[in-house]
Amino acid sequence: MSAIDTGALATVLAASAGTALTVMLLTFAVGTVKGVHRVVDSAWGLAFAAVAVVAWFLSAGHGDPTRRAVVAVATVVWGLRLALHIARRGREQGEDPRYARMLARARGSKALYALRTVYLLQGSLVWLVSLPVQVAMLLPQPLDAAAALGLALWAAGLFFEALGDHQLVRFKADPANKGRIMDRGLWAWTRHPNYFGDFLVWWGLYLTACGTWQTAAATLVSPLLMSVLLIKGSGKRLLEAHMADRPGYADYQARTSGFLPRPPRPVGRPR
């Protein structure tokens, strides 16, 4: 891979895989003791932050210092914010219905089934999705136009995601909204402002690794995979299946974009 020390790259890739695995195994231990495997959702952001820190440390002397610092900080800020938000949201709650349904299919040990199908899978996804972060740390070139655009997308995505989460928390905190569908603020423009924010964040971080055509091609799988997860995988698709029977949700779907933000459709207008 042009302009990157392949020995350093191998070290960073291996250490990042070990870091993601360690975070998930520790979280598995916590989830098993508590009997609640929804803790893995908080570990998702923590694992990305941990990978970024390890990659930053091991890339010293190989990558451009400014690019290394900026990419590390951007990933850690996103990861820690997400982890804290999910931890607060799930405090004193029982098992997530998604994991309850998944574990109900287990034959034999539910803990080992969760380890295989939840924790190890998510650890592998963290490593793969974070490839642009790992590679960007080793690019010797100073920040360029692609990286600047990427950081602008990251900032827009973080803002969109954080604001959407904040609006939803405030909406749910009001007893008058119990049983109602959140359709205000950013949620009037897209049914999933948090997922759309993640989408921008990871396409932005991908651009920070596009210092050469080789690194751009080698890491393209990461934002593509994240996009599939958000839209067709465990994000939008599963959440909407869970919400489908809620009163008023069909009307909300009819007037509100499923992903990309746009003004809400007038009531009665076809989708």
Share of the chain above pLDDT 90, in %: 65
In the predicted model, what is the mean pLDDT of the chain? Answer: 90
Rounded Cα gap, residues 119 and 124, in angstroms: 9
Query: What would the pLDDT profile of 122-177 be if each residue is shown by its tens digit?
Result: 999 999 999 999 999 999 999 999 999 999 999 999 999 999 999 999 999 999 98
Alpha carbon of 14 to those of 53, 208, 216, 229: distances in Å?
14, 21, 20, 24
How far is residue 132's CA from residue 61's CA, in Å, rounded to a whole number?
Answer: 18
For 11-67, write each residue's pLDDT tens digit. Answer: 999 999 999 999 999 999 998 898 888 889 999 999 999 999 999 999 999 999 999
Instruction: Decide if pLDDT at 270 tops 70.
Output: no
Q: Quote the pLDDT of residue 267.
A: 65
Residue 185 has pLDDT above 50, yes or no: yes
Q: What type of residue is 71? A: V
* pLDDT(250) > 80: yes
Under a CB-based contact definition with an 8 Å cutoff, are residues 77 and 133 in contact? no
Tens-place pLDDT, residues 126-140 = 999 999 999 999 999
User: CA-CA distance, 147 to 181, in Å (whole number)?
Assistant: 38
Region of 182 please: left (phi>0), alpha (psi -120 to 50) or beta: beta
Q: Tens digits of per-residue pLDDT, 207-241?
A: 999 999 999 999 999 999 999 999 887 767 777 77
Per the CB < 8 A criterion, the answer to whether 71 and 86 are in contact is: no
DSSP single-letter state for residue 142:
P
For the chain, the domains span: 6-255
